[in-house]
């Protein structure tokens, strides 16, 4: 057997942040074979990016990394060898694609130069740009990064990554900042690179679906340790670790049963100290036994198939039956809105345009170019579109935060309240949660005791203890802040609840919890819901109907299942096709 | 929804020791500032002699039993003059910064909240002021108005506020652009309350930190004006003027001109350190 | 870019007009009376009135301002009460000395700033002490630094001359420059150095620098091609600002070192309330300050393709 391109052995990394030292990787063993694509999957904080940086030999110096173990790429140990050797390896054997194409390119250097610098002559670089699917490569060779779209920049990043003919490409969340249609293209590009150049790829992602699309093998990382590793079909088809099984179960897909609550993973309650011994997943695991708190299973512990291993004391059969046994409770039966009801929201040929810049740079941007929508009382409408499609602007128009340039908007009595994309920043940081909620109740002049009662009621309604009222947003976790935002919107029942991508910044299991909560509150308070998202799976779940928005216009609107099952417009078809799905024969 | 959600306060209690000692140092620095202000308040009581009248033989050296810091060319007590000068310098600097902060802050808030033509007009004026060299204009201004403490303070205040107007306006704009302001607006919060409760508390820390870091600059500039004869007229005790008046003693009795200068250094150093401390305590960037 | 240049030139002219208006108005409120100054303290009331009329001091303010502007553009700033020579003549002899001092100080400031920033951002060993000294020294009033400099390097060590501008060869001139230029440079060095350090640290931590490192570039290439240009913008603007401040700072430093420049001229004019001289120096140094800042702004824009 050939020696692997990259091989990580018993890698431990600890970093210092704000004066606290914490272990981010706690003993990783992982190989990437020649020509293999390995998908490394984990939620935020699992240490997956630090594994990437270890392999590149670029651990952040200012975090004073402590490293033991090895991370070899070909013949160089990227964490222990002297810097000149590591630099030579980066030059000759490694390429990297980072998450944010907006910040990962040098803003003051022409694109072409940034590619040739990585080891290509001029003609080679132009050819490379063309091969990456950049139109007009000759022209694009001479531009600065800010003159390119996000998708093109990420292609430039890919060109830089392979310019030096690397043996291994490390791609750290390369698609996260991109729209779904561009995402799919970039993943295809990575696979072509492997097929054409024979290089290995380490694809790091938080989304099992992304890994499922191109990875030969999948490694699941949890709290700095490998939870499971194996051939992609094995890991996805018969997960042997409860975490992988849970992730697969709570993953949103286009085929999920809409009538049920989403399955969610329990929250992690372990402290950093408790996590350092035993199985880090034990607090969330349905199978936990005493041994899980004391002994730490290795990834060799469970061996359901050759090359497939999981760090669990239980065999894959036990894991599967235990995780499948948790059946999600059915949500209240979806109500169909009475057809005769007055519409709660009416948009009549709404146009929104605004001007940016001064002088010659002054230009008018039409964010919304004539949208008409009726939303019946009690109905939920999901608005789907890519970034810049104008979908958020529609929501802000309904909220009254943006004036319309032309057209008419009406909202039913009771008004609209909104849950913003970034719940943390939508809460005033220096006010306590109680003060924030009381502001909404102030116009009702309820008196002290009654106001306090209503605040506590609203918090309880979102699953928060009443004590949270005395805390400030900085004292809360991301999920808790999202709940507070929801409590603020509903402490006085609005006729319409507007949701602007409320889950896009959350990890999968937390997102599922939030979506469940919004659905539940919609039922309890009989609200009309407008839900904006870029994710078709979320749209299908949250909307009775779906409106697809492209460049400020509604291109398709209809019953959720119909739009997804049989999309009429090519744009909708492209959107549906590019949703990363996991198709495994079970 | 039955998920138990624990407040994260518990986690806050285990924050790093290093950061806490950082806060302790910061408190020490702020205490130093308070001590200096107290010293300035009671300076007149501490001064052993009349600062204006000669009280001993001229040019007594440092460490003379009755006159710890010696006497100047005509036998006045250097310690007493320095204490009086320190008081004037410190409160003058505080006054200039306070006026700058209030006037500039008001203009900045008006521009930032008002937006549109109010903003455009106020910022045009502010930018014109900012484009002028403040030190030179202050010199010319005080020279034209005639020297004297009141005119010095007036002149300094006139050139000093635009800086704060710019800063506060920028901060107001950045806070107003944050989602929480929009969220509060949507929640039905009125305009006045929105500014007072949701915008200003976000601006105050930066403004206070900048102002405290600025006290040292103003101390230096005021001392420079005084050095040039643009402060109180002689024989009043003033740090810059005392140095200027005694430079000819530099080679024979160096401490006479140097001691008031060191007092200025002390004031500006403490102001800068305390400014850093306040920045740490209020947790603003910059 | 051309449009930007035009706009910048336009606002430059407006600021210069405002500057001259301020100086003119200050001259109006200043207690000195040019007519009486020209005739002497014993002249009769009638003679003073006639002189005022001859000088146009009873014309409307706007007319006087236009005349003031016209004179200023032609380099006519009136006659000094103190030296009884045309102010323009005095300035012509003082300006080169000031320019020399300021440029020398600017070079020193840039060198110190670069040392300060680089030693900190790249964590050079043992550089912390130097930075600490600079931090403390920069909070001292310039006149104190000047005096201490004279006491130590002239009176005690006798390494450097303590006053005047050197005559007799470049060696002497350079020796005379060292103390005043260094004293003048300390505060600007720290101001520029802090901004440069912040820029370097932010850029070193930037994603695109990680990309550059992932290409396997050496430290020199990473710094030279990817860090410096992206880090330097704000410090360019700050350098322009500080170069302007240097001209204002000469007032105190030149006086202590008896440097025969414009600052010294201004400092000597203040005690005698020689307002034509004060106004002229303010106008000239102020104009230099405004122009330098505009140039720095243009340079910064040219350095960053996103702004052009």
- Distance, in Å, from the CA atom of C274 to the CA atom of C276, rounded to the nearest integer, reads 6
For the record, the structure tokens of A10 come out as: 């018993």
Residue labelled with tokens 């007032």:
C251
CA atoms within a 13 Å half-sphere pointing along the CA-CB vector of A235: 31
Whether residue B3 is predicted with pLDDT greater than 50 in this model: the reply is: no
Flag whether pLDDT at C40 surpasses 80. no
**Could you tell me where the beta strands, DSSP code E, fall in A1-135?**
6-17, 20-32, 37-41, 66-73, 76-77, 94-97
Q: Which has more confidence, C121 or A87?
A: A87
Q: Which of C30, C141, C285 sits opposite B224 (nearest CB)?
A: C141
pLDDT at res. A357: 62
**How close A99 gets to chain C, by Cα (Å)?**
9
> Quick one: average pLDDT of A525-536?
90
Query: Which pLDDT belongs to residue B104?
Result: 93
Round to whole Å and give the CA distance between A438 and A441: 5
- Note whether A2 contacts B: Cβ–Cβ < 8 A: no
Token pair 């994710």 is found at A535
Asked if A418 and B179 come within 8 Å (Cβ–Cβ), the reply is no
* A contact chains, 3+ CB pairs < 8 A: B, C
Inter-chain CB proximity A87 and C217 less than 8 Å: yes
Determine contact: C220 vs chain A, CB below 8 A: no
SS3 category, A296: coil
Residue B178 has which token pair? Answer: 């944050």
Question: Can you tell me the mean pLDDT for B157-182?
Answer: 90
Cα separation, A270 vs A281, whole angstroms = 9
B11 pLDDT more than 70:
no
Whether pLDDT at C21 is above 80:
yes
Average per-residue pLDDT for chain A: 86
Please say if the pLDDT value at position A257 is more than 80: no
Decide: helix, strand or coil at residue A95.
Answer: strand
**CB under 8 Å to A480, separation ≥6 — which residues?**
A464, A468, B5, B8
d(CA A98, CA A105): 10
- Count Cβ–Cβ pairs < 8 Å, chain B vs chain C: 131
pLDDT category at C180 given cuts 50, 70, 90 is very high
Least confident of A185-199, A486-500, B91-105, C40-54: C40-54
Nearest residue on chain A to B21, judged by CA atoms?
Answer: A19
Angle between helices B116-131 and C2-29 (to 10 degrees): 70
β-pairing, A6-17 vs A66-73, is antiparallel
Instruction: Flag whether pLDDT at A40 surpasses 90.
Output: yes
B51 vs B45: CA distance, rounded Å: 12
A107 with C306: Cβ contact below 8 A: yes
Nearest by CB: C230 against A87, A88, A108: A108
Count the helices and strands in chain B (H runs, E runs): 12, 0
Share of chain A above pLDDT 70, in %: 95
Helices C233-256 and B200-227, packing angle to 10 deg: 30
Residues 6+ apart with CB under 8 A from C81: C32, C37, C272, C273, C274, C275, C276, C277
Which of the residue ranges B266-270, C168-172, C213-217 would you say has the lowest mean pLDDT? Answer: C168-172
Q: Which residue has the tokens 């500057």?
A: C19
The Cα A470–Cα A465 span in angstroms is 11
Average pLDDT over residues C144-158: 88
Q: Which residues of A touch C205 (CB under 8 A)?
A: 60, 62
Question: pLDDT class for B13, splitting at 50, 70, 90?
Answer: very low
How close, in Å, is residue C217 to chain B by CA atoms? 31
DSSP A6: E
Which residues from B are below 8 Å from C285, CB to CB? Answer: 133, 136
How far apart CA B264 and CA B240 sit, in angstroms, is 8
**Residues paired with residue A351 on neighbouring β-strands, in sequence order:** A369, A406
CA atoms within 13 A on the CB side of A160: 34
% chain C with pLDDT above 90:
23
Residue to test with chain A: of B2, B3, B24, most A Cβ within 10 A:
B3
Model confidence at A585: pLDDT above 70: no
CA distance A163 to chain B (A): 39
B191 — contact with chain A (CB < 8 Å)?
no
The C-alpha atoms of residue A216 and residue A308 are separated, in whole angstroms, by 12
**Can you list the pairs that A454-458 forms with residues at least 24 positions away whose Cβ atoms lie under 8 Å?**
A454/A491, A455/A491, A458/A487, A458/A488, A458/A490, A458/A491
If one compares A357 and A534, the residue with the highest pLDDT of the two is: A534
- pLDDT above 50 for A171: yes
- Residues shown for chain B: 286
pLDDT at A174: 86
**B18 contacts chain A (CB < 8 A):** yes
The whole-number average pLDDT for the span C248-271 is 90
Asked if A360 lies within 8 A of C212 by C-beta distance, the reply is: no
Residue A135, pLDDT above cutoff 90? no
Q: Contact C138/C211 with Cβ under 8 angstroms?
A: no
Task: Determine the pLDDT at residue A203.
Answer: 93
Q: Which two tokens stand for residue B37?
A: 């202000």
The sheet carrying A20-32 orders its strands as A20-32, A6-17, A66-73, A76-77
Per-residue pLDDT reduced to its tens digit, B99-116: 999 999 999 999 988 888
Residue partners of B177: CB distance under 8 A and separation at least 6:
none
Q: Which value does ipTM take for this structure?
A: 0.84
pLDDT digits (tens, 9 = 90+) for A314-332: 887 888 777 765 555 555 5
Say if C279 is an interface residue toward chain B (CB within 8 Å).
yes
B10 pLDDT tier (thresholds 50, 70, 90): very low
Q: What is the pLDDT of residues C200-223, one digit of tens each?
A: 888 888 889 999 999 988 888 999
Q: Which of A98, A119, A164 sits opposite C207 (nearest CB)?
A: A98
What pLDDT shows up at residue A220? 93
- Of A142, A166, A180, A181, the C-alpha closest to A32 is A166
The 10 Å Cβ neighbour count of residue A343 is 17
Helix pair angle (A242-250, A316-325), 10° resolution: 40
pLDDT of residue B106: 94
Cα–Cα dist C140/A111, whole Å: 47
pLDDT of residue A102: 80
Q: What is the pLDDT of residue B264?
A: 93
Q: Which residues contact A448 (CB under 8 A, 6 or more apart)?
A: none
Greatest alpha-carbon span in chain B: 87
Residue A175: predicted pLDDT: 83
**What is the per-residue pLDDT for A360?**
58
Q: Residue B14: its pLDDT value, please?
A: 31
Give the lowest-confidence range in A109-123, A175-189, B206-220, B223-237: A175-189
- Strands A168-172 and A94-97 come out as parallel
User: Closest Cα partner for A242 from A317, A300, A295, A294?
Assistant: A317
Asked if pLDDT for residue A10 goes beyond 80, the answer is yes
Q: What are the C-alpha distances in Å from A136 to residues A121, A131, A179?
A: 18, 11, 22
Q: Determine whether the interchain pair A426/B5 forms a contact, defined as Cβ–Cβ distance below 8 Å.
A: no
Between A10 and B234, the more confident residue is A10
Nearest one of A524, A528, A523, A486 to A506, comparing CA atoms: A486
Residue given tokens 């399955």 in the structure block: A263
The answer on pLDDT for B193 being more than 50 is: yes
Q: Are A104 and A98 in contact (CB under 8 A)?
A: yes
Residue C31 contacts B, CB cutoff 8 Å: yes
pLDDT value at position A114? 92
> If pLDDT is split at 50, 70 and 90, which confidence band does A546 have?
very high
pLDDT tens across A418-477, in order? 998 888 889 998 999 999 999 999 888 888 899 999 999 999 988 888 888 999 888 888
Token pair in block for residue A85: 């050797």
Most confident of A306-315, B189-198, B230-239: B189-198
What is the pLDDT, as a whole number, of residue B6? Answer: 34
Q: Give the whole-angstrom CA distance, residue B34 versus residue B27.
A: 10
The tens digit of pLDDT for each residue in A73-129 reads 888 899 899 999 999 999 989 999 988 888 899 988 999 999 999 877 888 889 888
Residues 479-508 of A with CB under 8 A from B: 479-480, 483, 485, 488
**DSSP 8-class letter at A263:** P
Q: What pLDDT digit, counting tens, does each position of B42-87 carry?
A: 888 888 888 888 887 777 788 777 778 888 888 888 888 999 999 9
Report residue A583's pLDDT band, with 50, 70 and 90 as the boundaries. Answer: low
Give Cα separations from A439 to B188, B189, C269 (angstroms): 8, 7, 62
């Amino acid at each position: 057997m050939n020696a692997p391109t990259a091989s990580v052995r018993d890698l431990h990394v600890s970093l210092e942040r704000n004066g606290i030292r914490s272990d981010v990787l706690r003993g990783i063993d992982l190989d990437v074979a020649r020509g293999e694509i390995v998908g490394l999957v984990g939620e935020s904080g699992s240490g997956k990016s630090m594994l990437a940086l270890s392999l590149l030999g670029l651990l952040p110096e200012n975090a004073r990394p402590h490293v033991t173990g090895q991370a070899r790429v070909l013949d160089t140990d990227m964490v222990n060898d002297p810097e000149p050797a590591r630099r030579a390896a980066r030059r000759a054997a490694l390429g990297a694609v980072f998450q944010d194409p907006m910040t990962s390119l040098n803003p003051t250097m022409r694109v072409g130069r940034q590619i040739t610098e990585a080891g290509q002559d001029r003609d080679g670089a132009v050819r490379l740009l063309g091969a990456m699917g950049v139109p007009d490569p000759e022209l694009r060779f001479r531009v600065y990064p800010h003159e390119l779209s996000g998708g093109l920049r990420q292609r430039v990043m890919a060109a830089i990554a392979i310019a030096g003919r690397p043996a291994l490409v490390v791609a750290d969340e390369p698609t996260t900042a991109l729209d779904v249609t561009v995402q799919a293209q970039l993943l295809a590009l990575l696979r072509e690179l492997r097929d054409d150049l024979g290089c290995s790829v380490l694809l790091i992602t938080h989304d099992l679906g992304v890994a499922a699309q191109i990875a030969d093998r999948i490694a699941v990382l949890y709290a700095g340790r490998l939870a499971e590793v194996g051939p992609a079909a094995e890991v996805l088809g018969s997960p042997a670790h409860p975490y992988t099984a849970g992730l697969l179960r709570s993953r949103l897909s286009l085929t999920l049963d809409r009538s049920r609550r989403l399955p969610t993973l329990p929250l992690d309650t372990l402290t950093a100290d408790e996590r350092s011994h035993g199985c880090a997943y034990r607090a969330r695991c349905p199978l936990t036994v005493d041994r899980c708190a004391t002994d730490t299973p290795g990834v060799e512990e469970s061996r359901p198939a050759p090359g497939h291993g999981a760090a669990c004391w239980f065999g894959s059969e036990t894991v599967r039956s235990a995780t499948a046994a948790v059946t999600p409770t059915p949500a209240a039966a979806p109500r169909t809105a009475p057809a005769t009801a007055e519409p709660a929201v009416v948009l009549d040929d709404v146009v929104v345009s605004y001007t940016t810049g001064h002088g010659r740079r002054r230009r008018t941007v039409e964010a919304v170019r004539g949208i008409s929508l009726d939303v019946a009382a009690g109905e939920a409408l999901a608005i789907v579109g890519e970034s810049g499609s104008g979908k958020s602007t529609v929501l802000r128009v309904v909220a009254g935060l943006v004036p319309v340039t032309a057209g008419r908007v009406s909202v039913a009595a009771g008004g609209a309240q909104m849950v913003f994309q970034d719940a943390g920043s939508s809460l005033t940081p220096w006010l306590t949660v109680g003060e924030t909620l009381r502001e909404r109740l102030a116009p009702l002049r309820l008196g002290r005791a009654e106001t306090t009662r209503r605040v506590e009621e609203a918090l309880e309604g979102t699953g928060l203890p009443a004590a949270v009222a005395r805390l400030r947003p900085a004292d809360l976790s991301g999920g808790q802040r999202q709940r507070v935002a929801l409590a603020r919107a509903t402490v006085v029942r609005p006729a319409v609840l507007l949701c602007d991508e409320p889950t896009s910044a959350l990890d999968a299991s937390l997102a599922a919890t939030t979506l469940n909560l919004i659905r539940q509150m919609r039922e309890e308070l009989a609200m009309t819901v407008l839900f904006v998202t870029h994710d078709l799976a979320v749209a299908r779940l949250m909307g009775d109907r779906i409106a697809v928005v492209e460049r400020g216009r509604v291109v398709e609107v209809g019953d959720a299942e119909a739009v997804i099952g049989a999309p009429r417009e090519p744009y909708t078809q492209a959107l549906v096709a590019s949703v990363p799905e996991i198709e495994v024969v079970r | 929804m039955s998920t138990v959600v624990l407040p994260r306060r518990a986690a806050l209690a285990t924050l790093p020791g290093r950061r806490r000692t950082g806060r302790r140092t910061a408190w020490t620095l702020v205490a130093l500032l308070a001590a200096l202000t107290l010293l300035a308040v009671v300076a007149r009581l501490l001064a052993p002699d009349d600062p204006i009248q000669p009280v001993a033989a001229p040019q007594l050296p440092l460490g003379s039993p009755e006159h710890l810091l010696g006497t100047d060319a005509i036998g006045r007590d250097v310690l007493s003059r320095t204490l009086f000068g320190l008081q004037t310098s410190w409160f003058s600097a505080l006054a200039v910064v306070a006026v700058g902060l209030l006037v500039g802050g008001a203009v900045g808030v008006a521009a930032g909240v008002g937006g549109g033509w109010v903003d455009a007009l106020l910022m045009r004026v502010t930018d014109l002021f900012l484009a002028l060299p403040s030190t030179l204009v202050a010199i010319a201004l005080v020279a034209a108005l005639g020297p004297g403490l009141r005119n010095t303070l007036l002149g300094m205040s006139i050139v000093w506020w635009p800086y704060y107007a710019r800063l506060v306006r920028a901060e107001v704009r950045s806070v107003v652009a944050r989602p929480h302001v929009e969220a509060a607006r949507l929640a039905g919060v009125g305009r006045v309350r929105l500014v007072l409760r949701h915008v200003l508390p976000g601006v105050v820390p930066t403004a206070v930190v900048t102002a405290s870091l600025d006290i040292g600059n103003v101390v230096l500039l005021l001392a420079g004006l005084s050095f040039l004869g643009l402060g109180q007229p002689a024989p009043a005790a003033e740090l810059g003027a005392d140095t200027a008046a005694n430079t000819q003693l530099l080679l024979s009795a160096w401490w006479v001109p140097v001691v008031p200068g060191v007092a200025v250094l002390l004031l500006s150093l403490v102001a800068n350190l305390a400014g850093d401390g306040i920045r740490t305590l209020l947790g603003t960037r910059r | 870019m051309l449009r930007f240049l035009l706009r910048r030139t336009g606002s430059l002219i407006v600021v210069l007009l405002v500057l001259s208006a301020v100086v003119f108005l200050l001259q109006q409120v200043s207690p000195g009376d040019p007519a009486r100054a020209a005739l002497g303290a014993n002249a009769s009331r009638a003679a003073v009135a006639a002189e005022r009329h001859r000088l146009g001091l009873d014309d409307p303010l706007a007319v006087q301002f236009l005349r003031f502007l016209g004179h200023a553009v032609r380099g006519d700033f009136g006659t000094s009460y103190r030296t009884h020579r045309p102010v323009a003549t005095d300035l012509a002899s003082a300006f080169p000395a000031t320019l020399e001092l300021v440029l020398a100080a600017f070079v020193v400031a840039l060198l110190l700033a670069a040392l300060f920033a680089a030693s900190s951002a790249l964590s050079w060993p043992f550089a912390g002490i130097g930075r600490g000294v600079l931090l403390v020294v920069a909070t001292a009033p310039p006149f104190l630094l000047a005096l201490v400099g004279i006491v130590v390097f002239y009176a005690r060590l006798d390494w450097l001359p303590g006053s005047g501008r050197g005559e007799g060869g470049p060696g002497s001139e350079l020796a005379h420059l060292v103390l005043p230029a260094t004293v003048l440079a300390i505060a600007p060095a720290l101001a520029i150095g802090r901004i440069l350090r912040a820029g370097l640290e932010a850029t070193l931590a930037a994603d695109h620098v990680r990309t550059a490192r992932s290409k396997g570039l050496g430290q020199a290439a990473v710094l030279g091609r990817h860090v410096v240009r992206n880090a330097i913008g704000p410090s360019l603007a700050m350098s322009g600002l500080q170069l302007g401040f240097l001209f204002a700072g000469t007032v105190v430093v030149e006086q202590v070192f008896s440097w025969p420049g414009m600052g010294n001229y201004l400092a000597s004019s203040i005690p005698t309330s020689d307002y034509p001289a004060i106004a002229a120096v303010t106008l000239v140094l102020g104009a230099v300050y405004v122009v330098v800042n505009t140039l720095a702004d243009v340079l910064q824009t040219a350095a960053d393709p996103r702004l052009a």
